[in-house]
Structure 1
Amino acid sequence: MQVNVFQNPYCVIERKPEDKIHRNKPPPIVSLLKYENLVLKDQKDKDFKEAKRDNKGKKLVEPLHRPRYSIPVIPRIKPPLEENKQRAEDILDDILPPREIVDGKRVWVQRVSSAPVGPHEVARLKDQLEFQMLQRDAFKQGLCPTRRDLYEQCFDELVRQVAVTCAERGLLLARVRNEIRTTITAYQALYESSIGFGMRKSLESASKKAALEAMVAKLEEENTQLESELKEKSAQYEAELNKTKDMQDAAQKTREEEICFLMKGNHDIKDQYEDIISQCMAPAAAS
């Protein structure tokens, strides 16, 4: 049977030519995780109910009046391989839930592939990862959402391959994956909360800065007024000081003039007194 594959050599979805609804299906979503063919949601639910009814077996209804020699009905026993396959598919659905694609009024469902895996699947996954890294221009270093998305898809594909081989090991690996995602989500929440805290602090500091700038402007204005008042008071002080100095100099000069005048008068009086004494002493010496 010939199988057509999409132009992308690393596409994981295969379609058959005899599929009647092939032309009506939406375009595939390229992913490193291997999926089965698209199925309409109503058809999937119908197949699931039929499979569930077949797995459980038909319910036996015993008549009220059973014949004496009736042949007992033996329920269908599920083969071990089919039971294990169904269990593996259920575990895959729990680990990697099917994705839904809305195409107008129709909803398509695509389940994870439960086909057996081999060593070539790992090589194919490696080639797909490298191809997608180059095609989507993912950074090899630093933070890159594209590279993280591709590696998450790669890890999911590894979980699928391990779960197909050993369901218990796949469950444990899915638990490790969920723990890693929970840790990353916690770090993201912590980062977002820290950014919010930083933004709040920056806004608070901006509001405080505006208030402080207004206070600084007010204080600078008051300082300017005080400086102008100081200059006025200094000018008044200098004027009063010069005025007081001039008054002191004038008073000192007046006192010095008065002293000179008094000393001159005293000298004149002393001269007059000596002349009078000499005149009085002259007759007495002559007699």
Structure 2
Amino acid sequence: MATATSERMIPSMDTLVKYDNPVAVTTRPEKAKEQGPSKAGPSACKLQSTAVSPDVRKETMEVLNAILPSQEWEDEGQIWKQQVSSTPATRIDVINLQEQLDMKLQARQARETGICPVRRELYTQCFDEIIRQVTINCAERGSLLLRVRDEIQMTMTAYQTLYQSSIAFGMRKALQAEQGKEDLINTAEELKLQKAELEKTVAELRQRFDQTERRATELREAEEKKYTEEIQFLKKTNQQLKTQLEGIIAPKK
């Protein structure tokens, strides 16, 4: 019964990094009263028996804990802690790590090329496990690999920020272009209306011009006809007066 309880309390670690078995740290008072000493005691004792080996050097463990911090969680009032494993890796462990990486990539359907968060996460876990294995044999080499890992993550974060900024910039430009397009369409419609009004005004002015020109032509023709008739009348009168004058002068001769 105690074994079933301890397995229920241990969460599944879906990671390529090797961790030790969880260790019970403390129990909250209110939960301890509810559960009683018979439940928490056997489980805690069993897990503590698989704690980190005392043969591991203290400075190596400090470096490991700095690189890969321990994980803590609470389950039914019991606080559990799980530290990264300090067991040296063998050649078989490295081969198994590669196989696990390939299986997880296939199981989680990670993309083989391009941007893929799943592939990046799995390779990050694999790199952390390699750093753990190297740190156990040489803490200085592990620290140097940690610097390399942090530099890669910082570069990836910078690229991600730049990518997001470029997307936001592109979206703003697209919205501005769309808004400018709508403004141009509205302006074109207004210009079309103005053109139609101006064409209507031109047609009205042309009609008034034609009417004015026609009236002016008619008036000019009427005046010319009047002047012509007056000239003809004056010529006829002049001829009559000339004839009368000649009739008056002729007998005297």
Relative to the length of structure 1, the TM-score reads 0.64
Alpha-carbon distance, 1:95 to partner: 0.5
Would you say the 8 A contact 1:117–1:165 is kept in 2?
no
Work out which of the two has the higher radius of gyration on C-alpha atoms and give 1 or 2.
Answer: 1
Of the candidates 159, 165, 168, which is equivalent to residue 131 of structure 2? Answer: 159
Residues 128 and 261 of structure 1: CA distance in aligned 2, closer, same or farther (over 3 Å): farther
Residues 230 and 107 of structure 1: CA distance in aligned 2, closer, same or farther (over 3 Å): farther
Residues 257 and 118 of structure 1: CA distance in aligned 2, closer, same or farther (over 3 Å): farther
Alpha-carbon distance, 1:280 to partner: 3.4
Tell me which amino acid in the other structure corresponds to 1:280. A
Provide the alpha-carbon RMSD of the alignment: 3.7
Greater shift, 95-104 or 140-149, is seen at 95-104
**Offset from partner CA, 1:116-167 (integer Å, 9 cap, x none):** 1122222111111111111111111111111111111111111111112211
Determine helix, strand or coil for the equivalent of 2:100: helix
Q: Aligned pair count?
A: 229
**Offset from partner CA, 1:181-223 (integer Å, 9 cap, x none):** 1122222223333444444555566666666666665555555
Would you say the 8 A contact 1:99–1:110 is kept in 2?
yes
Q: Which residue matches 1:178?
A: 150
Q: Which residue matches 2:22?
A: 38
How high is the sequence identity, in percent, across the aligned residues?
A: 35
- Measured in 1, the distance between the counterparts of 2:177 and 2:113 equals 35
Larger helix proportion, structure 1 or 2? 2
Residues 268 and 203 of structure 1: CA distance in aligned 2, closer, same or farther (over 3 Å): same
Of the candidates 131, 139, 144, which is equivalent to residue 116 of structure 2? Answer: 144
Alpha-carbon distance, 1:21 to partner: 4.7
Alpha-carbon distance, 1:170 to partner: 0.5
Work out whether 1:134 is the aligned partner of 2:106.
yes
- Measured in 2, the distance between the counterparts of 1:29 and 1:241 equals 100
**Offset from partner CA, 1:225-273 (integer Å, 9 cap, x none):** 444333333332232222222222322333334444445x168449837
Higher relative contact order (CA 8 A, sep 6+): 2
- Measured in 2, the distance between the counterparts of 1:141 and 1:193 equals 23
Tell me which amino acid in the other structure corresponds to 2:110. A
Tell me which amino acid in the other structure corresponds to 2:8. N
Extract unaligned runs of 5+ from structure 2.
27-43
Extract unaligned runs of 5+ from structure 1.
1-16, 52-80
Determine helix, strand or coil for the equivalent of 1:22: helix
Tell me which amino acid in the other structure corresponds to 2:144. L
